[in-house]
Structure 1
Amino acid sequence: MTATPEWWRGAVLYQVYPRSFQDTTGDGIGDLKGITRRLDHIASLGVDAVWISPFFKSPMADMGYDVSDYRDVDPMFGTLADFDALLARAHELGLKIIIDQVLSHCSDQHAWFRESRTDRTNPKADWYVWADPKPDGTAPNNWLSIFGGPAWEWDGTRMQYYMHSFLTSQPDFNFHNPEVQDALLDTIRFWLDRGVDGFRLDACNHYFHDIALRDNPPAPMSSAHDIQQSNPYGFQEHLYDKTQPENVAFLKRIRALLEEYPGTVAVGEVGDGEQSPKTVGLYTSGGDTLHLAYTFDLFGTEFSGRYFRDTVEKFEAETADGWVCWALSNHDVMRHVSRFAQPGDDPDQIARLAIAILVALKGTICLYQGEELALPEAELAFEDLRDPYGIRFWPAFKGRDGCRTPMPWEAGEAQAGFSTGKPWLPIPDAHRDRSVDVQSTDPASILAIYRKAVAFRHAEPLLASGVIAFIDLPDDMLAFTRSTDEAALLCLFNLSREPRNTPLPAGFSRPHSFSSDGATITEVGAILPPLSALFSQRD
């Protein structure tokens, strides 16, 4: 395990979605003991840390992102003792553990909200965003929920509306109340005292709202960029319901708490549309805010050199004093081998090139469970859906269940080795064929490629600390160097479906062994097969 306080710079994280990783009880839902059982697989990838999505007590309306007790494990996943055992085993294997902290909102079943909604004078009456209706009884303003409809729900006991940025059962905290901040910081301390190594802060730019409750203006139609256009959320410019100036001071309070526990880290999830680079820069600068921020900006459908270059350069311009965590897939978006593929593409080729690009980027990177197997997006029937987001917007948007299906471990076992019972989501036959046991015996498998890619990133210090400088090439190619004053590494990618020849900068004459098969350097430049990568150290 890396001992330096800034171990997270250039690190490789691995995201586990607990209910879909490994079931040990036969109920068809993954659990903490299952994660512990499979930690050897994660360690074999060579990653530095494991990010575990929420496992706290919850009614599970939003699959655990609606927390009803921040200091306990939901019985579905096990016990606090199970978590302690997981943490101990991870540390034995040299893996750090980062847990999800969902602070912007909680479940309406949380004791704090139950008390808050009883009347307007109780001790927690101001712990949530309550507001009177307009004279005609309608909501206080035009804010929208990400999961559809208004961001306001009427409560007949208090005779007021409460704000919810997500489901109606996920009331937003009122961070303008210092007591709320203190209580949530105490929940972070609880897990720090148990020995966790850090936190992924869910929706961290949603903590504060505009206290004057001003209406959001319409977004310019050219910039409406919601994950899918069936959701009207993308038609507003979200000036007042999130990303408020007061947020930075609370992030500094989180950082100050973590400084009491050397080596721990705060990874902020920032989804802020076109403002994401600026927000990430603000939230990770100065050495007293977040250590790094996780961005959605490589979750698009375009697979081109121009797409990667434009995205990275926007963040480079805003984060000179900050740090970005890049990912291509997670539990909220279509798996990238399906997103990036064109008709006729080999998903293995997409997977090989994508991981080659990812490990070469400046920043920290995060892998999502199953991408090391090149799992495609699962196609599910409506009756199999469990995601309230997808159920609400079906059929225009099919939700997030397609990327959340269980991990396939053993191709020949019942439920691909995930469970002895019926899984909470079905396991596609195409996933079974890509099981861990099948790929572990194949030196040319995507699993083998991922292990080599992570080893390559760790073996090349330039990939953790070097500056990034792009080289002009056609839009279907991508080229940049990672360098220090002493050394440089050329990173060259052909994202087209045709072979490409291109001249090279002087001083790069030999391909690195991690380059794709067939990628070579001649006297006149580089030759790259379709969907391939070439790396070269400076002579």
Structure 2
Amino acid sequence: MSEGIVSSSAVDADWWRGAVIYQVYPRSYQDTTGDGTGDLKGITERLPHIASLGVDALWISPFFTSPMRDFGYDVSDYCDVDPMFGTLGDFKALVERAHELGLKVMIDQVLSHSSSEHPWFIESRSSRDNDKADWYVWADAKPDGTPPNNWLSIFGGPAWQWDTGRRQYYLHNFLATQPDLNLHNAEVQDALLEAVRFWLDLGVDGFRLDTINFYFHDRELRNNPPLHPEQRNASIAPDVNPYNFQDHLFDKNQPENLEFLKRLRRLLETFPGSAAVGEVGDAQRGLQIVADYTSGGDKVHMCYSFDLLSETPPTVDHLSTVVRSFEETVKDGWACWAFSNHDVQRHASRWALGFGGTPQHLKLLAAVLLSLRGSVCIYQGEELGLTEADLQFEDLQDPYGIEFWPSFKGRDGCRTPMVWGVEEKHAGFSQAKPWLPVSDEHRSQAVDRQHADPDSVLNHYRGFIAFRKENLPLIKGNFELVSQNDQVFCFRRRFGNETIICAFNMSDETQTVRIADESVETLEGSGFNGHADGQTITIPPIDAYFGLVG
């Protein structure tokens, strides 16, 4: 190992608590083979960029063997790399290089469902009495031939698909080519945990657990009750999708999941320093599920819900409501906050009308995200301030968008290729036509241009993450909201003997606030211009203040 490089094994096992995790969508990061699709070697090639941000880890979206009906979230082999992304050797090289750069590697694990082309499902559907007959969720039709109950798929239509071979329905919460595994079967749990162990043995440091609250279904297959229109929330599915019309009491969020997560945690504990973050997809009770899954130190380490991935603008009132609810509900659990990811419209566009989409707005939002109590996920291109790409119907690849076009355009707009060079072919992503078009709007925000601009969004992310690392309360401190006016989001972070006051002016006018602390010493290096005079803090428009409380 090169001199000056710190082995990741030297980092404490609590590294995940307050970590900044950078999400890579491998199809769209860097193509090295000239086929227009990103690959593992491309990620390895670009690891210096990720390391330059100062983040602690990268999370790589699925790269496993798959027919790619849902771009890797339909796995046909849990223990191999799809040829479009490379080989297991390429993955091992990626992990080794990341560790040399001081980066942890987290990978997606899709445990709630597989591809219909997985050998397990092929065997399961072959008869009602084979060795894997009960590895998926099968049920007889009602006497009139209709599905067993009213459960709906997130991707549209019933969550049940008729199989002519078994003459039964199977459950699919997503695409019909993504049958749900039956985790009520202990053999299924064992097989999935062995797949997790496979990647731990290869040196991964953790996992992002896809749809973690979908692992179990109600054994009795009871109907979901209707949800009152006033309670419908489009954070999990677009408002044009009738999935929002149900209260999902029985197709997910089952209590049996807690024991499985304990089994998973016990496995992770045998690989010291490994960690897991779960995706909680529920619009009605997301924070309570986060609390249930992360409490006690015996299940997953952290979870994220969709509270800050929704369309609701980041007003002071909304931010305060979310974090207050989190503190009151989750208690000893741990959140992983995110504003953008591969499944939602980029927040630079999603909140543009409600808060503004200028570089200064995006810098302020980055500081808010990186100052909350919890860990943080940053999605590739977020550090550049990328907006949602506007694609034509003929360019779409996402079956979700194709199904609900034009009311909902799907997820392709946040998955377009990363932009590396302003003047390079396809912005430096590939020498061939990319699988999704490079947005002309994005080209001017390429890494090479922003790297050379000290005032760029990219350099702000680098600077603020460095500032965060220099001030431990922002990483591991507790959290206390400070009531101010409806334009200033203000809170304290306290760790040990240090307390930092964080105040964000979300308005277009200068704001002056007073705090109850005896004195505040302005912390340099945040990149913001707020200042203090005694107990009075003055913050310019769309700006922030950070101060050490005396």
**TM-score under structure 1 length normalisation:** 0.98
Name the structure 1 match of 2:5: none
Residue deviations 1:423-449 (CA, integer Å, cap 9, x gap)? 111111121100000011111111110
* 1:266 is the counterpart of 2:276: yes
Separation (CA, whole Å) in 1 of partners of 2:290 and 2:355:
37
Which runs of 5 or more residues in structure 2 are unaligned? 1-7
Separation (CA, whole Å) in 1 of partners of 2:347 and 2:168:
43
* 1:426 is the counterpart of 2:437: yes
Separation (CA, whole Å) in 2 of partners of 1:507 and 1:111:
66
Please give the residue correspondences for 1:371-386 in structure 2 after superposition, counting only pairs within 5 Å: 371-386=382-397
Contact conserved, 1:500 with 1:527, CA < 8 A, in 2?
yes
Name the structure 2 match of 1:256: 266
Separation (CA, whole Å) in 2 of partners of 1:368 and 1:440:
18
Q: Which amino acid aligns with 1:297?
A: D
Say which of 387, 396, 403 aligns to 2:407: 396
Name the structure 2 match of 1:510: 521
Q: Which amino acid aligns with 1:71?
A: C
User: Aligned-pair distance for 1:491?
Assistant: 0.3
Separation (CA, whole Å) in 1 of partners of 2:169 and 2:92:
40
Residue deviations 1:412-467 (CA, integer Å, cap 9, x gap)? 10000000000111111121100000011111111110001111111111112211
Name the structure 1 match of 2:104: 96
Name the structure 1 match of 2:510: 499
Name the structure 1 match of 2:246: 236
Query: Aligned pair count?
Result: 539
Please give the residue correspondences for 1:456-495 in structure 2 after superposition, counting only pairs within 5 Å: 456-495=467-506
Contact conserved, 1:516 with 1:532, CA < 8 A, in 2?
no
Give the secondary structure class of the aligned counterpart of 2:296: coil
Separation (CA, whole Å) in 2 of partners of 1:506 and 1:321:
27
Give the secondary structure class of the aligned counterpart of 1:99: strand
User: Aligned-pair distance for 1:9?
Assistant: 0.5
Contact conserved, 1:11 with 1:47, CA < 8 A, in 2?
yes
Q: Which amino acid aligns with 1:38?
A: R
Contact conserved, 2:63 with 2:72, CA < 8 A, in 1?
yes
**Percent identity (aligned):** 57
Which segment drifts farther, 265-274 or 152-161?
Answer: 265-274
Give the secondary structure class of the aligned counterpart of 1:24: coil
Separation (CA, whole Å) in 1 of partners of 2:69 and 2:540:
47
Say which of 44, 51, 62 aligns to 2:52: 44
Instruction: Calculate the aligned-residue CA RMSD, in Å.
Output: 1.3
Q: Which amino acid aligns with 2:34?
A: G
Separation (CA, whole Å) in 2 of partners of 1:426 and 1:202:
26
Name the structure 1 match of 2:172: 164
Contact conserved, 1:490 with 1:508, CA < 8 A, in 2?
no
Separation (CA, whole Å) in 2 of partners of 1:522 and 1:394:
54
User: Aligned-pair distance for 1:477?
Assistant: 2.0
User: Aligned-pair distance for 1:516?
Assistant: 5.0
User: Aligned-pair distance for 1:485?
Assistant: 4.9
Separation (CA, whole Å) in 2 of partners of 1:152 and 1:344:
41
User: Aligned-pair distance for 1:297?
Assistant: 1.3
Contact conserved, 2:75 with 2:114, CA < 8 A, in 1?
yes
Separation (CA, whole Å) in 1 of partners of 2:76 and 2:341:
24
User: Aligned-pair distance for 1:524?
Assistant: 6.7
Contact conserved, 1:71 with 1:187, CA < 8 A, in 2?
yes
Change in CA separation of 1:370 and 1:72 when aligned onto 2, cut-off 3 Å: same
Contact conserved, 1:341 with 1:350, CA < 8 A, in 2?
no
Contact conserved, 1:304 with 1:477, CA < 8 A, in 2?
no
Q: Which amino acid aligns with 1:348?
A: P
Name the structure 1 match of 2:4: none
Give the secondary structure class of the aligned counterpart of 1:366: strand
Q: Which amino acid aligns with 2:469?
A: H
Please give the residue correspondences for 1:68-467 in structure 2 after superposition, counting only pairs within 5 Å: 68-227=76-235, 228-301=238-311, 302-342=313-353, 345-467=356-478
Separation (CA, whole Å) in 2 of partners of 1:13 and 1:150:
35
Contact conserved, 2:463 with 2:527, CA < 8 A, in 1?
no
Change in CA separation of 1:346 and 1:238 when aligned onto 2, cut-off 3 Å: closer
Residue deviations 1:359-391 (CA, integer Å, cap 9, x gap)? 111011111000100011111111111111111
Name the structure 1 match of 2:29: 21
Residue deviations 1:130-169 (CA, integer Å, cap 9, x gap)? 0000000000000000000000000011000000000000
Which segment drifts farther, 490-499 or 507-516?
Answer: 507-516
Which segment drifts farther, 523-532 or 327-336?
Answer: 523-532
Separation (CA, whole Å) in 1 of partners of 2:204 and 2:67:
24
Separation (CA, whole Å) in 2 of partners of 1:517 and 1:5:
33
* 1:526 is the counterpart of 2:534: no
Separation (CA, whole Å) in 1 of partners of 2:519 and 2:20:
27
Contact conserved, 1:306 with 1:475, CA < 8 A, in 2?
yes
Which runs of 5 or more residues in structure 1 are unaligned? none
Name the structure 2 match of 1:65: 73
Contact conserved, 1:390 with 1:400, CA < 8 A, in 2?
yes
User: Aligned-pair distance for 1:519?
Assistant: 2.1
User: Aligned-pair distance for 1:343?
Assistant: 8.0
Q: Which amino acid aligns with 1:61?
A: R
